Amino acid sequence: MDKRIKVLVAKPGLDGHDRGAKVVARALRDAGFEVVYTGLRQTPEQIAEAAMQEDVDVVAMSLLSGAHPHLFPKVVELVRGKGMKDALIIGGGVIPETDIPALKEAGVSEVFTPGTPTTKVVDYIKANVK
Amino acid sequence: MENIAEEVLKGNRFALSKAITAIENEYDNATEIMQKLYPHTGHAYVLGVTGPPGAGKSTLTDKLAKEYRKRGKTVGIIAIDPTSPFSGGAILGDRIRMNELTLDPGVFIRSMGTRGSLGGLSHKTADAVKAMDAFGVDVIFVETVGVGQSEVDIVKAADTTMVVLIPGMGDDIQAIKAGILEIGDIFTINKADHDGADKLATELNMMLDLDGETKDWRPPILKAIANQNIGIKEVVDTFHKHHDHIEGNGQLTVRRTERAKNEMLDLLDARIGAYVRHNIVDNGKLDEYVQDIKARKTDPYTVVNSVLQDMLK
């Protein structure tokens, strides 16, 4: 058996800043994960479909535009709707602390805000992936 | 998910995805899935896309897939990117060029890391192709990692192989070396609006003319500018032409027979290797052998002979 953790790093919505997503993608690669990166400006539908086709263990979204209260829950709903019940769904970016409880309520397992060391993201995935 | 193979045959996309995961990770149910899918394979046409890093293989594949969709065909794409030899991780980035295909229900894209395979594919690519074939797509693109000169496994996996080149990568001596330039059924010069495209075409033509009359298919040299959608129809037309040619002269059957033989022998090698390894690890003799070899009390050739004699008699 040769199982590796597979992660989709996705940029939902319209912001054009993917430096953070690329830094995270690189850190996950160096942790031995297989990282599918789909680039900027993805709709929730595209993210969910790509997650399904790639059968990823983790969907990691990065968003800096402020649209997270709408887009993160939408991705969760669509990913679960594809039958992916076990996939871990996490988010990161410029997310106000006060928004985090509602995101978790909507099924986002964890939210990482600016300043989070990449090792924390890696450790979280290793500890929580199914 | 239970009954993965049955669900794949019914056209369940998530089941196809799960089947490829089982194959790639060598899950316990992978062999059973392949046994059930195999009778339903042999219908899809497999197109190999190879060439150096940055040649535009993913962009070209994206555009070619769209052209096949316009012609009413369903498409599978297997896109391979390199696995890090240090961490075992990989960035699989080919989908970035193919985002417009993601929501097309007639297209299924899967990314794979090479996971230690050095031939431009991953060890499990052939089985992933079979899963897509059994699922029922008409055409399967296999896009290799960016290759240098000797990663030529694609020619064993594909019915028609296209080598994608770009201007400015070296002089004509590079073009007469052995390797990827020997495996192209079709050559496409992408980014043909860049300086040097005509010179590259001339050099390739001269190289291919050295083959003389020995081959009955002279690989055509096409030009494309993939990101402007230029030259795409011509490439698809040429794929069809090559398909008709090798179907007509029996080469397609020869290629597929050769593939069946290679795949069976590879599977046999892998199984025997794994079986023997497990045995000498489990019975604790591996360390003993290594110590004796290192101390020059014996040699690896003698040890391997005796291990095989013990185990395979």
Q: Do A37 and B14 touch (CB under 8 A)?
A: no
Nearest to A28 among B18, B89, B99 (CB): B89
Which residues of chain B make contact with A52, given a CB cutoff of 8 A? 13-14, 17
Q: Do A39 and B95 touch (CB under 8 A)?
A: yes
Arithmetic mean of pLDDT, B280-296: 90
Under the banding of pLDDT at 50, 70 and 90, the label for residue B212 is low
Give me the helix-helix angle, A68-81 and A44-54, nearest 10°.
Answer: 40
Dist CA B287 CA B165 (whole Å) = 48
Dist CA B306 CA B292 (whole Å) = 14
Q: Do B99 and A46 touch (CB under 8 A)?
A: yes
Dist CA B92 CA A124 (whole Å) = 21
Alpha-carbon torsion, ordered B124, B125, B130, B131, to 10 deg? 70
Candidates A49, A122, A126, partner chain B, best to mutate (most B CBs within 10 A): A49
Q: How far is CA B187 from CA B161, B184, B218, B221, in A?
A: 9, 6, 11, 5
Please count the CA atoms within 13 angstroms of the CA of B154 that sit on its side-chain side: 35
pLDDT for the residue B270: 87
Q: In chain B, which ranges are continuous DSSP H helix?
A: 4-9, 13-24, 30-37, 57-70, 125-135, 154-157, 172-176, 197-209, 232-248, 251-282, 285-294, 300-312
Q: Do B25 and A3 touch (CB under 8 A)?
A: yes
pLDDT-above-90 percentage for chain A: 89
Q: What is the assigned CATH class of domain A6-128?
A: alpha beta
Q: Do A31 and B89 touch (CB under 8 A)?
A: yes
Query: How many CB atoms are located within 10 Å of the residue B2 CB?
Result: 6
Q: Which residue of A has its CA nearest to B90?
A: A34
Dist CA B77 CA B95 (whole Å) = 10
0.85 surpassed by complex ipTM: yes
**Partners of B36 in beta bridges:** none
Candidates A1, A3, A4, partner chain B, best to mutate (most B CBs within 10 A): A4
User: A36-50, B26-40, B149-163 — which is least confidently predicted?
Assistant: B149-163
Residue type, B122: S
Dist CA A65 CA A77 (whole Å) = 20
Cβ atoms of B276 and B311 closer than 8 Å: yes
3-state helix, strand, coil split of chain A in percent (to 5) is 45, 20, 35
Q: Does A53 touch chain B (CB under 8 A)?
A: yes
Under the banding of pLDDT at 50, 70 and 90, the label for residue A122 is very high
Cβ atoms of B154 and B46 closer than 8 Å: no
Give yes or no for residue B175 having a pLDDT over 70. no
Q: Does A70 touch chain B (CB under 8 A)?
A: no
Under the banding of pLDDT at 50, 70 and 90, the label for residue B204 is confident
Q: Does A33 touch chain B (CB under 8 A)?
A: yes
Q: Do A31 and B108 touch (CB under 8 A)?
A: no
Label the pairing between strands A6-10 and A34-37.
parallel
- Please choose, from the candidates B158, B157, B200, B163, the residue with its C-alpha nearest in 3D space to the C-alpha of residue B181: B163
Which residues of chain B make contact with A83, given a CB cutoff of 8 A? 1, 14
Query: Would you identify the CATH topology of the domain B41-249?
Result: Rossmann fold (3.40.50)
Q: Does A29 touch chain B (CB under 8 A)?
A: yes
Under the banding of pLDDT at 50, 70 and 90, the label for residue B216 is confident
The domain ranges of chain A are 6-128
Q: Is B222 helix (H, G, I), strand (E, B) or coil?
A: strand
Q: How far is CA B189 from CA A16, B168, B222, in A?
A: 32, 11, 6
The overall average pLDDT reported for chain B is 92
Dist CA A100 CA A78 (whole Å) = 20
Q: Does B99 touch chain A (CB under 8 A)?
A: yes
Dist CA A39 CA B70 (whole Å) = 25
Arithmetic mean of pLDDT, B62-76: 98
Dist CA B132 CA B139 (whole Å) = 9
pLDDT for the residue B172: 58
Q: Does B25 touch chain A (CB under 8 A)?
A: yes
Arithmetic mean of pLDDT, A88-114: 96
pLDDT for the residue B278: 87
pLDDT-above-70 percentage for chain B: 96
- B258 vs B150, residue with greater confidence: B258
CA–CA min distance A98, chain B (Å):
33
Give yes or no for residue B298 having a pLDDT over 90. yes
Q: Is B284 helix (H, G, I), strand (E, B) or coil?
A: coil
Q: Which residue of A has its CA nearest to B28?
A: A1
pLDDT for the residue B295: 95
CA–CA min distance A17, chain B (Å):
15
Residues near B228 by beta carbon (within 8 Å), at least 6 away in sequence:
B193
Give yes or no for residue B158 having a pLDDT over 90. yes
The domain ranges of chain B are 1-38, 41-249, 261-312
